[in-house]
Structure 1
Amino acid sequence: MRTLGKWLGRILLSLILAAVVIGVWKREEILRLWAVNSLFAEDRIVGNFSNMDAAFLTAPLPRGNGPVSPLPIGDPAPLPAGIGDWIDQRAVTSLLVMKDGEIRHEDYFLGTGPDDRRISWSIAKSYLSALFGILLDEGTIASLDDPVTRYAPLLTGTAYDGATLRNVLNMASGVIFDEDYHDPNSDINRMGRVIALGGTLDDFTASFSERFSDPGQVWKYVSIDTHVIGMVIRGATGRSVSELLAEKIIAPLGQEQDAYYLTDGAGVAFVLGGLNITTRDYARFAQMILQNGTYNGQQIVPAGWIAASTAATAPTEPGRTAYGYQWWIPAKARPGEFLGRGVYGQYLYIDQTRKVVIVATAADRAFREPGVNDGNIAMFRQIADGL
């Protein structure tokens, strides 16, 4: 018995040592996995959304060496009655309102500030759309009707084989992808674990093999389509999206701070939701889009692409919220009204007719409740109408 006890003790000690070794070896992956699992916790979500680089792999988006582009300050805006309740209910962390290129209101909440680089979530999709439009205009990408496999051959034989660039820009690939943020086993949450554990998003994307419809027939919002756009851009240029976005959009805007992308284990940017930028710098991008791609006298994004990408071209249901090329068009949209939108309450609201830009960031855990998005848009319209 004494010999058996010694033997069991040695086994237990070996198991403990092995666990310690594995824990040290995989420490970063374990910490990132823990960060994913606690990312949206009520007591952590606000801080997490302003400090994503503390937990995840990142790639820099340098602002460049040019001067900071000033954002003029105009007269304070009269804000709608009840906006304070809306800010509290929606856990708004920042609100910036511009009219005619001037800041008319800027405020920060829940302990955040103007220097916080805030996670974009799906606002990043609209940035990628702008980059895609530049490359299309330059001829690096030949046609919206090219198959995605022309530029991303890894997708040959997958659910994306047969889809065109237009299809994925429109979120009409027909690929089966579960985007339920509240289901830990959904595809979107499995993707988060791929990032946390240092896996590769390209391989994850190539693992999808089933479609619910032929490409181009049905609109369904699936974020994986945007990763395919990133694969296409990298395949067409031989360069990273991080380098291209910094060179062609971030630097020309004259941002106040460097930005960054979250990345997977191969250093590939999480283009469908991983941008981290200050509220003021989001406003610079939105103002450039409002001005049909021009900023500081420079045509950054082709005007034709702004018009095409913000038009309701996806096969959405009539009378419902519409979609363009990675931009949203509200139901019963007013002329020139569209937006970039991310989960948990991130918005770039643009009203070209009224020359209004509204940037709102939030940590709204109730963002998917019925009526929340419509209520947010109604508030933005009230703000725009009051300027």
Structure 2
Amino acid sequence: MITRSAGVANGFVKRLLRILGLTVAWAVGGVVGLVLLVVLGFLAAKPTETIRLLGQFAGNRPGHMQRVPGAPEQPLPKASFGERALSVESLQAAMDYGAETGSDALIVWRGGSIQLEHYYEGADENTLTSTQSMHKSVVALLVGVAISDGHIGSADDPISLYLPEWAGDERAAITIRQALWQSSGIDFPTFAFGSLGPMMGLLIGQDMRPITFEQKAVEPPVTSFEYNSINPLVLGLVIENATGRPYAEYLSEALWKPLGAGDGWVQMDTEGGMARSYCCLDIPARGWLRFGLLHLDNGRANGRQIVPEDWIAAVRTPGPNNPNYGFLTWLGTEHVEQRAYNSKASLRAYHSEAFAADDVTYFDGFGGQRVYIIPSADMVIVRTGALATDWDDSHLPNLLLAGLR
């Protein structure tokens, strides 16, 4: 009797497991099928964008990479162990934080020389990390050079003077300065789940111009701070139209080569198309150090005044709508624990405490891509690497400032 009952129970369990297995298989098959249908739908509607989007999972860049020719790389002095102007403990702690956050590179400059240049597993001095929005701060420098070269009259020129697409409507009076402040009043697209909409078009599309030009003014200039990608994209076009040269070419001749750096790469929406001047400047970590040193030395590099000193000062001066933002560049003027980017996005940048120095300027790329410039400490810090969504903006600078000798 007991044996018979056990057999019945075993049979029931087997049938139940078979049913559950089929149910799970059908569910998984259904999800896979749905995903395939969605992908095929996107592929039919926007084949190039879909292929580029899928290609990013393989590490491909979603656009044409345009070479930014450099010059023979100028050596940068390195401190010997006995010459270090920072404590060994602070440098080790900085390296540890870099490892915890998936970094590729960590470089620390202090007192006229490199104190630390560390590359993590799989990276070296030639590694090109996607540094996201740090490119915006380079655009700010390049606008200053274009003004100095006489291609642009002044930062108070209306953008429509160089961009006819903005003439004839409410955008006509928006100035270059207001766009640099991210206070132009222009609208901007945001992410939409399950859509290859305008924001995805800016990220992976093959023609950004229609999306850029269809953005209208939604409020008067200098009403509010709204960090977005449209302002730097428009400024990239202003640079091209004012100089009569492709963006990458002018960047190379006016800024990159004079810094004494090797080749870099800027992403275009398509070959011969529009530069993604809001992101996507691929250069090694040492190249970002050179940009930081350009700030530190008030626009000078290799014995030349590359960017006017008064322009560097303007870049580091807070705009009217955000005390922590100058010209496409972030400032550590006031401590805000959860730093907001704009009114549409929930994304925040975390600052666990105030910066230990009151003159911190920094390039901010999503996920902890950073260049910190601290003139009072004669310090530049570069961190590039994986997207660290839990990045603490004050941790690394304060850690190293505490280690000053």
Q: TM-score, normalised by structure 2?
A: 0.75
The structural deviation recorded for 1:184 is 5.3
SS in 1 for 2:376: coil
Matched residue, 1:3: none
Q: 2:373 aligns with which of 347, 350, 356?
A: 350
Q: Quote the Cα distance in structure 1 between the aligned partners of 2:136 and 2:198.
A: 18
Match of 1:112 among 99, 107, 123: 123
The residue number in structure 2 matching 1:69 is 74
SS at match of 1:323: coil
Partner of residue 253 from structure 2, selected from 243, 247, 259: 247
Distance change (3 Å), C-alpha of 1:150 and 1:336: same
- Work out the CA distance in 2 between the residues paired with 1:178 and 1:29: 17
Shift of 1:349: 0.3
Residue segments in structure 1 that go unaligned for 5+ positions in a row: 1-22, 39-43
Inter-CA distance 183–144: structure 2 relative to 1 (3 Å threshold): farther
Instruction: Check 1:79–1:217 CA distance in 2 against 1; reply closer, same or farther (3 A cut).
Output: farther
Return the offset for 1:186. 6.7
Q: How many Å apart are 1:267 and its aligned residue?
A: 2.4
Give 1:17's aligned residue.
none
Q: Is the CA contact 1:123–1:346 (under 8 Å) kept in the aligned structure 2?
A: yes
Contact 2:266 2:275 in 1 (8 A): yes
Equivalent residue for 1:336, pick from 353, 359, 379: 359
1:379 to 381, 396, 404: 396
Question: SS of the counterpart of 2:373?
Answer: strand
Q: Distance in 2 between matches of 1:263 and 1:362?
A: 22
1:157–1:206 distance in 2 versus 1, CA, 3 Å? farther
- The question of whether the paired residues in 1 share the 8 Å contact of 2:104 and 2:129 is answered with no
Tell me if structure 1 keeps the 8 A contact 2:201–2:211: no
Distance in 2 separating the partners of 1:187 and 1:170:
23
Counterpart mapping for 1:121-140 below 5 A: 121-140=132-151
Residue aligned with 2:393, SS: helix
- Give the distance between the partners of 1:282 and 1:363, measured in 2 at CA: 16
Change (3 A) 1:234 1:158: farther
Pair 365,382 (structure 1): closer, same or farther in 2 beyond 3 Å:
closer
SS in 2 for 1:119: coil
Cα RMSD, aligned residues only:
2.7
Letter in 2 for 1:222: N
- Structure 1 position 277 matched with structure 2 position 283: yes
| Matched-pair contact (CA < 8 Å) for 2:331–2:361 | yes
Amino acid at match of 1:300: I
Identity percentage of aligned residues: 29
Matches of residues 1-387 of structure 1 in structure 2 within 5 Å?
Answer: 30-36=50-56, 38=57, 48=59, 52=61, 56-64=63-71, 67-76=72-81, 77=86, 78-80=88-90, 82-83=93-94, 86-157=97-168, 160-180=171-191, 187-194=198-205, 198-199=206-207, 201-211=208-218, 213-255=219-261, 257-265=262-270, 266-316=272-322, 322-330=324-332, 331-332=334-335, 334-367=357-390, 372=391, 375-387=392-404
Aligned-partner residue type, residue 132 of structure 1: V
Unaligned 5+ runs, structure 2:
1-42, 336-354
2-structure distance, mates of 1:179, 1:88: 32
Say how many residue pairs are matched: 334
Other structure's SS at 2:266 match: strand
**Alpha-carbon shift at residue 187 of structure 1 (Å):** 4.5
Distance 2:380 2:47 in 1: 43
Contact 1:177 1:222 in 2 (8 A): yes
